Structure 1
Amino acid sequence: MTNMIDALRARFPALQQQVNGQPLAYLDNAATTQKPDTVIQALLDYYRQDNANVHRAVHTLAGRATRDYEGARDRIAQFINAASRENVIFTRGTTEAINLVAYSWARHQLGEGDEILITELEHHSNIVPWQLICKETGAVLKAAPVKDSGELDMAALQGLLSSRTKLVAIGDASNAIGTINPVAEIITLAHKVGARVLVDAAQAMAHHSLDVQALDADFVAFSAHKMYGPTGFGVLYGKTEVLEQAQPWQGGGDMIETVTLEESTWNALPYRFEAGTPNIADAIATGAAVDFMQSLDLNAVAEHEQRLLQQATEGLNAVDGLRIIGTAPKKAAIVSFVMDTAHPQDIGTLLDENGIAVRTGHHCAMPLMARFDVPGTVRASFAAYNTAEEVERLIDSVHRIARLFA
């Protein structure tokens, strides 16, 4: 396994550097992953050789750009097992994908007294759009609570489901504390009451394969930059029947079929939701990221990440005055903690002095922080390229910080 990780790490230029005189231990993967050589090369190749707009020109560069851009859509559709490439809409990320559903679908489908159900675990991007839609439509936003362990209270969630529930919007895994939700079970329960389901899969895509047809979610949103791809690019998957119900939310080029000064008609799926010149380079690079992920044994990666999580959990639990926030039995490779004697920002700063990159703060999950009565946490999150030695450095550094503030 060590040789495999070493070979994998060699493909990530950013991991070869030192920070503050120490080898970089990059443990901020829940925020964004580093990029392999092939993803970086795909970006360079487009701008060096194929820089042209897609879809509308007949010259050679435009043909190559269109081939690679739409080829990325095909690869993504295959990667998530979408029924058709038409179900794959390109966005700027998970946040835009969720907002697209909110304003193109929910705004037109919900009315007074209808309900949207989320959980206390959600990222702000899966809370705020629904608050705004509820203000517009008169719908009601409800949230299922979490237990002291950070595990979702499924009995409470089931009790909140009713014929008034029109949408359930839930994260596959918590970005803040790592809790993995029983998404398939939730989808089944939601469909029984006639509700549609949106899955925020941003934290899932780099860690396990996702079969959208088997999952049976109505919408799935995710970002490229959390799965070894570029920033500023994401995907919304939607079932054909719900996408056909949705209205365009941005007008402009390429989302139209015909335009007169009096009225317009809309392009076919998925293009009616992709107005304007798209993010061509990053779409192509996301295709390269999908190729990279498909070259990995994702089951072996998941096992490796879980070993790192176990090592970090056991080591950090031995630190005096440290408390791990989120101890659900099923977790993504994220450990989030607070210390009695030191503020999370101070801990993060001291770790950075040792070349260890972690995230501190509320992680865009302020309701969850309020649930645990903490202002924020220190979050270490692991990816395929992280090592047991890096986790040991984290544990040793936190022990030293605890002694410093004792």
Structure 2
Amino acid sequence: MHPGPAPRRTRRNRLVRPAAVDQGGHPGGHERRPRPDRASENPLVGSSGILDRLGRPGWRCSVSERCLRTRCPGDRLAGPTATHFTLKVRTMGKSMTISILRRNPLRVFFLVAIASVLAGGIAISQPTPGGFASGRASFAVAFQDEVARYRVMAGFVLPGEEVRFRVVEDERNRSFQLEGPDGLLLKSRAHDWVWQAPVVTGVYPVRVTCQDNGESILLNVFVLVPFSQVVNGRLNGYRIGSYPDKPLKGLDIYKPPVGFVEVTAENPNTAVSPHFTLGQFLCKQESGYPKYLVLRTRLLRKLEFVLQTINRAGIRCDQLTVMSGYRTPWYNKAIGNVQYSRHVWGGAADVYVDVDPIDGQMDDLNKDGKIDIKDAAVVYRIIDDRFSEDAWTPFVGGLGQYRVTASHGPFVHVDVRGFRARWGD
């Protein structure tokens, strides 16, 4: 009798999770392969960056992946026959889910773009539960060569100075109103105003409100004490010292400041941006009130951007500790620092992450059980790796990392000098 056909091996489809590490022999007699690097494997990595470029920086993306592999008993593990991604784009009250086949990564970009349009064009700063709240608004206000994209920001003007405020980056052409109870509103248009500051030193709120939904940006405008009131190196008894006679390399940013913010016992907690207050930037020299400082809006914008970037890199923190902000020329010389330090012009800050635990020093960011310059290097690399991106263009400046000494822990220096500089211990 002719033998019957040989029994056919049964082919089964199984869901197999790629191993993160080699965990020994595979049930089929083969070792598991290490998990591929997700930056090259997953075309949706960086989708938040795509949304940023599409004008949706506040949106959240989540990606789930299912790899379907085919395996016969005794066969080697086959490569993925198909990989599907599920992209979820969420905004206020709206959600969209898209299934994407990995074989066509270009489709990822176009579907993200379509989703951003269909979802209504709302850029939000509200976090997902437990997430970081950036404090960004869905529009921006331009003033004094600055652009305020946050719901609170500080500006600095001389007594009686005229300031133009303009709404920018509003894609839906909504209606806005400027409210400045102090000072004088000289011109008023739909998205454009000219406001004259009071002549008395102090902080004056100017609020730009979207009349469609009530969203607003608060600009805390500080009227400065003019530099001309410094006499013999002192301002109302507070020791300032002397600024250099000649600007470094003839650069305008090294000319003496036009004036000083007056800090009283009542205003150190005034918000100058979503995550920073005025008092954090005071010089460390001992004195009573009033105290005086110089602070630049551009530095505040950069610090907020740095904080947001650190959170996006996976380090959860709601604030940066400012170890050193403004320094008077007198104090800067007393501690032996270089004459042209950007701290003296209110354009630099020495900062560190102090969240877990809050103990007055840098956290163990690299999880090696030690607090040292390697932890400062984590923050340094996060900032420096993003330097080439277009979003960082307004914030070109210095970046340095410092090791532990007897007087301080590790920290990172950031400034807005206008040209690139890097250094580190």
Q: Hey, which of these two has a bigger chunk of strand by percent?
A: 2
Q: Hey, which of these two has a bigger chunk of helix by percent?
A: 1
What TM-score results when the alignment is normalised by the length of structure 1?
0.26
Q: Flag the structure with more relative contact order, 1 or 2, with Cα contacts below 8 A and sequence separation at least 6.
A: 1
